[in-house]
Amino acid sequence: MNKLLVLLATLLLWVFAAWFYHSKATSGAFCKALPGFSYAAKNLSLSAPETFSFARSGIAPSIPVETKSRLQELGAHLKSNDKSTVDVTGFYSSTEKNSTGFKNLGFARADAIKKVLVGYGCKAEQVNTKSSLVKEDSDRAENIFIEDRVYGGILVPGAALVAKAPTPPPAVSSGFSVAGDGSSFTTAGHFLFPRNSELPQVPADVEQKLKDLAAFQRNDSGHVVELTGEYSKAEKNGTKYENLGLARAASVRDRLVKKKVPQDQIILKSKLIDDGRFNKDKKLLGGVTGKIIKIKTTDTGDDIFKPRNVYFETNSYTMRMDLKLKTYLENAKAYLAKNPAKKAYLTGHTDDQGEAAANQELGRKRAKFIKDYLGKQGVKIAQMSSSSKGETKPIADNKTAKGRAENRRVEILIK
């Protein structure tokens, strides 16, 4: 009886196996050989019995052990031959769902194989990705779309990389120089600004020229020094200034102010430069250039009677001096000296940050600051009147930082 049961069970298993084999064979996938992997170049030939594959609508490759070894050999070959390239073409069909950031799944699959090769040592620029749309009802699709998998891709040698010309060294100026109107302060040394910083290294010869320039400015108020700081867009600016160029110019200005140069004799500007100006140590050689400008004054002209705003640097009473403002102040001083019946009306304004009473007082202090400044310039106290409007007369939108900066001002009106 037991032998009969064993024989019956064996017979049933044989029948089931025959049915399973027949059904898979007729479906075209069970007994069919899967596509192999191959790559052939002038000095390299690689092959494996089975290629990599992807799930339908998927981009993560399944790579058999032997194929992985061949890809590793290819990656090592590219690494040793850094001018060689490979083109990787990924297959896809229009029925698959593309949920990647790539244009199609072919590019996404090619990129996945690219990452494998880069992981084996080659450079990313040595692997070019392409895609190929395959119609699933075509003869070509028979060896690509098998059941729920997408098999293979095409790996062929690409065009050789063109050797890049050597990068030229950063452009270097002839040295720190401040010159103009017949005067010159020049040396072979430079400021040296670390990347992302406004604080320079200052050689001894540059420091001496700053002392000479300071002595010149202290004895001749008819000139201003225009300092232009350089910066690149790639730098991070952690200063109170709009960019690192202005911050670098301000750091040199502060050195001159410590040497007793009146702050209103120094004008700040900035200049955007190419990031390639930084050397291999990530430092900017130079970074600040200078110019000496003669102030052209007159005690007449309608421009004197137009209202003029004086703005302040953030969190300070330092005026944001430019050439036009400096010229206006010199002209106003000359006009008031020749016309004692005329007066300068100074009105302080603020943004709307903080309490209204505090802003009223802040406006008063700003106006007094300009009054004291003009007094030191020789304008008689009796010819000046200062007051405050606080936050009540904005000229720009207090909802933006730029608008608030424009509202923090002292208006000068001569009449």
> Does the domain at residues 33-157 carry the CATH identifier 3.30.365.10?
no
Beta-bridge partner residues of 284: 193, 278
Please state, in angstroms and as integers, the Cα–Cα distance from residue 141 to each residue in 24, 64, 118, 138, 222, following that order: 18, 21, 29, 5, 85
The span from the CA of 352 to the CA of 349, in Å, is: 10
Q: Domain 171-294: what homologous superfamily?
A: OmpA-like domain (3.30.1330.60)
Whether 224 and 290 have beta carbons less than 8 Å apart is answered as no
Instruction: Note the pLDDT of residue 16.
Output: 55
Reduce the secondary structure of 112-170 to three states and give it as a string: HHHHHHHHCCCCHHHEEEEEEECCCCCHHHHHCEECCEEECEEEEECCCCCCCCCCCCC
Whether 314 and 247 have beta carbons less than 8 Å apart is answered as no
Domain ranges, ordered by start, for the chain: 33-157, 171-294, 296-415
Strands of the sheet with 145-146, listed across from one edge = 53-55, 149-151, 145-146
Instruction: Note the pLDDT of residue 300.
Output: 62
The span from the CA of 23 to the CA of 238, in Å, is: 71
Both tokens assigned to 357: 């009473």
> Using 50, 70 and 90 to split pLDDT, how confident is the model at 22?
very low
pLDDT in tens, 227-259: 999 999 999 999 988 899 999 999 999 999 999
Instruction: Note the pLDDT of residue 323.
Output: 85
Q: What angle do the packed helices 244-258 and 204-219 form, to 10 degrees?
A: 70
Whether 38 and 157 have beta carbons less than 8 Å apart is answered as no
| Whether residue 31 has pLDDT greater than 60 | no
The span from the CA of 146 to the CA of 29, in Å, is: 7
The span from the CA of 219 to the CA of 211, in Å, is: 13
pLDDT in tens, 72-121: 999 999 999 999 999 999 999 999 999 998 999 999 999 999 999 999 99
B/e letters for 404-415, b = 16+ CB within 10 Å, e = fewer, are bbbbbbbbbebe
Instruction: Note the pLDDT of residue 30.
Output: 43
Q: Which fold has domain 296-415?
A: 60s Ribosomal Protein L30; Chain: A; (3.30.1330)
In 10 A of CB 39, how many CB atoms? 19
Instruction: Note the pLDDT of residue 15.
Output: 52
Torsion sign, CA atoms 9, 12, 14, 17: negative
Residue 323: HSE in the Cβ half-sphere, 13 Å Cα cutoff? 13
Residue 60: DSSP 8-state: P
The pairing of beta strand 192-194 with beta strand 183-186: unpaired
The span from the CA of 31 to the CA of 49, in Å, is: 15
> Using 50, 70 and 90 to split pLDDT, how confident is the model at 263?
confident
| Whether residue 411 has pLDDT greater than 80 | yes
Strands of 71-113 (E only): list them. Answer: 86-92
pLDDT in tens, 333-389: 888 988 999 999 999 999 999 899 999 999 999 999 899 988 988 899 999 999 999
The candidate with the shortest Cα–Cα distance to 391, out of 347, 345, 356, is 356
Q: What is the mean pLDDT of the chain?
A: 87
Instruction: Note the pLDDT of residue 166.
Output: 59
- Most confident range (mean pLDDT) of 19-28, 130-139, 312-321 is 130-139
Instruction: Note the pLDDT of residue 24.
Output: 44
Whether 142 and 29 have beta carbons less than 8 Å apart is answered as no
Run of H or E including 360: helix 356-376
Lowest mean per-residue pLDDT among 298-302, 327-331, 339-343: 298-302
Domains 33-157 and 171-294 share a fold: yes
| Whether residue 169 has pLDDT greater than 60 | no
Instruction: Note the pLDDT of residue 331.
Output: 87
pLDDT in tens, 304-314: 888 899 887 66
Whether 284 and 192 have beta carbons less than 8 Å apart is answered as yes
Please state, in angstroms and as integers, the Cα–Cα distance from residue 199 to each residue in 84, 254, 314, following that order: 45, 11, 19
| Whether residue 297 has pLDDT greater than 80 | no
pLDDT in tens, 42-56: 889 999 999 999 999
